[in-house]
Structure 1
Amino acid sequence: MKAPTIYDVARHAGVSHQTVTRFLKGFQGIRPETRKRVEEALIALDYRPNSAARLLRSQRTNRIGVLADRIDQSGPARILTGAGERAHELGYVLDVVVADGTSAGSVATSLATITEHQVAGILATAQTEIVLEELRRQATAAPLIISPQPDAGTDEPGVNELAGRCAADHLIDLGHRVIGYLAGPDMWLAARGRMSGFTQRVAERGGRVAWVRHGDWSAASGYAAYGSLSEDERAVTAIGVANDSMAIGVVCAAVESGVRVPEQLSVIGTDDLPEARYVLPSLSTVAMDFEGEGRFLIEELIAKIEGAQAQEQALPALPHLIARASTSQLVTRP
């Protein structure tokens, strides 16, 4: 059933919609008998004022709504950490509502929960195409920033594609030419970008991606993926992995099967988890500035809220290589 509007209230009370609007704004210059009719109509129709509409009439709030998709994963969680820290520095606070990125209905419900409260703006983290499409369909009264930013029609590679290229360049520079790749879940935008950047870069530089597997970002899925490889597939000299957790699983499975890392197999991850420095062997990885991305997004959003321009220095750092002990120069056997 459609929710009643101020026009429905006005018809029920026998007044103009402007009178209902003035009543809802708290205008005191309404005759007592008219006020009573409006009050009775509001009760009879169970009219509930829209919080987002009230925001437009009130002083600016310092609350920012966050629609968060998959914050159980390191990248999205670190983006929110950076966003929260920068928001606090600028005098704002975050209200986080979690959405299930596999369900358009969950996204719509979570966004409705945010817009039912008084927020100055909305930050939405979108890990899947489902979330992006639903956000594009929804209209919000408050300014909205989406992470990652929707395709603006440029040919410039995105940050995840750059991360894939960086990992591929490292392995190719070490002399590896026949390489495997363990991607993240296919529905994740970040997983697609990293896989695309990696496989294209290997081909551009004369190498060959012998196989691609998909994991679920967990170390267990990396362990299982390596265990599922055939003897021929294990003949690769290097494996690129879409995140560090899966890479740690790959290294564990390889070592348990008798493969020496990095002497016989080089493995590189992505993200630079804090643990990556302390596993044995320490994990080579591509560092991602998730916290910087969160700060940048919040500055962009607050600039929209306040009608100002975001500072250029807020741009996040580009993905960059951190070479450790899990990768090494390919030794050509005589």
Structure 2
Amino acid sequence: MADVARLAGVSHQTVSRVVNDHPNLRPETRERVQRAIEQLGYRPNTAARALVTRRSGTIGVIGSKSGYWGPSTVHRTVQAAARAAGFFVSSVNLPALTRTEVVDAIDHLRSQGVEGVVLIAATDEALDVARSHQAAGLPVVVVEGDETKARWTVGVDQVRGAAMATEHLLGLGHTEIVHIAGPQSWTEARARLAGYQEAMYSAGLRPAPPLIGDWSARSGFALGCDDIVARHDVTAVFCANDQMALGLLRALHESGRRVPEDVSVVGFDDIPEAAFLIPPLTSVRQDFGAVGRRAIEILRAVIEGQTPPESLISPELVVRTSSVVPPVRK
């Protein structure tokens, strides 16, 4: 640090203020010090910095080993955003999102001195654990959490996204629309169901009872075989994620029901494969990169005692050829 101070023509304390992102510095001074840091290849001693600032500079990230596209993508983007923001990341992947697993994970991270946690596990049990640790003074930002159950949450507006998908089908002329929902212990699944129901009620229609899946293609296939293929009154299905839509597509194909000629199908998430399914799948796109960056922005603001930014991110409906006007009834 002394070499940086000498090259920049400033004091040792000024270099320390730049390294620690102190706000009360003249822009030209900050720029001169940063040029000296880059020229000398200086890297702060993080252990010494932690002793001085009494901050570890480390955050925890908790996710699951489910392999689902949304949570796994958010996990990667949160870690990348955290590193870009100057944090070290301690990551925990849980085999199951039970209360015991989440409690143990947060306790493990607290023992490492993390300054906060991003929890990518918006189940009811995980939210209860997050709320208890928030009350105990540890900032916990829950991805896709229920804003009524957790103090700090971030995610795509699930209700709006589901309403957009349903309104798209309604706008095409469909009235018999079934929703294949996710497990109702997940806040995202309940929000998507609520969005579907709100759109149906707003159109003056009674929403059909939801068919409950478990996010997997297998459950979408099973529900399609057991409930959808025999119902010739149903002209459209909104699935709570693309994996269940994929399973439904196979069930409809094997039954001889054509998509989209007989049944329109809309998914949620817009996984990379959605555009290459047969037919290409209409889906609600979630900007997981924005979710990861926003999670870190909120956590950093909370840690530093500032006002967190807006927590909800707008979804986007990507229309493809799996959804068209309903067939003409003879």
Superposition TM-score tier, normalisation by shorter sequence: 0.7 to 0.9
Q: How does 1:277-316 map to 2 (within 5 A)?
A: 277-308=275-306
Q: 1:196 to 1:316 in 2, by over 3 A?
A: closer
Superposed displacement of residue 113, structure 1: 0.7
Which string of whole-angstrom CA distances, capped at 9 and with x for unpartnered residues, describes residues 74-128 of structure 1? 2111222221121121111321123466522222111111111121221122321
> What secondary structure is seen at the aligned counterpart in 2 of 1:270?
strand
Q: How does 1:120-199 map to 2 (within 5 A)?
A: 120-138=115-133, 139-152=135-148, 159-199=157-197
Aligned length: 275
RMSD between aligned alpha carbons?
Answer: 2.5
Counterpart position of 2:109: 114
Determine whether 1:326 maps to 2:308.
no
Distance 2:85 2:97 in 1: 33
> What secondary structure is seen at the aligned counterpart in 1 of 2:210?
strand
Q: 1:56 to 1:193 in 2, by over 3 A?
A: farther
Match of 1:85 among 68, 77, 80: 80
Q: CA contact under 8 A between 2:161 and 2:284: conserved in structure 1?
A: yes
Question: What letter matches 2:268 in structure 1?
Answer: T
> What secondary structure is seen at the aligned counterpart in 2 of 1:146?
strand
Q: CA contact under 8 A between 1:182 and 1:215: conserved in structure 2?
A: yes
Question: What letter matches 1:254 in structure 2?
Answer: L
Identity of aligned residues (%): 33
Superposed displacement of residue 266, structure 1: 0.2
Using the TM superposition, name which of 121-130 and 300-309 deviates more: 300-309
Q: CA contact under 8 A between 1:101 and 1:126: conserved in structure 2?
A: no
Superposed displacement of residue 134, structure 1: 1.8
Q: CA contact under 8 A between 1:215 and 1:222: conserved in structure 2?
A: yes
Counterpart position of 1:20: none
Superposed displacement of residue 181, structure 1: 1.1
Q: 1:294 to 1:140 in 2, by over 3 A?
A: farther
Superposed displacement of residue 304, structure 1: 2.4
Using the TM superposition, name which of 74-83 and 283-292 deviates more: 74-83
Which string of whole-angstrom CA distances, capped at 9 and with x for unpartnered residues, describes residues 280-305 of structure 1? 10000011122211110101111222
Question: What letter matches 1:74 in structure 2?
Answer: W
Q: 1:150 to 1:172 in 2, by over 3 A?
A: closer
Q: CA contact under 8 A between 2:159 and 2:195: conserved in structure 1?
A: yes
Gaps of 5+ in 2: 1-49, 150-154
Using the TM superposition, name which of 296-305 and 245-254 deviates more: 296-305
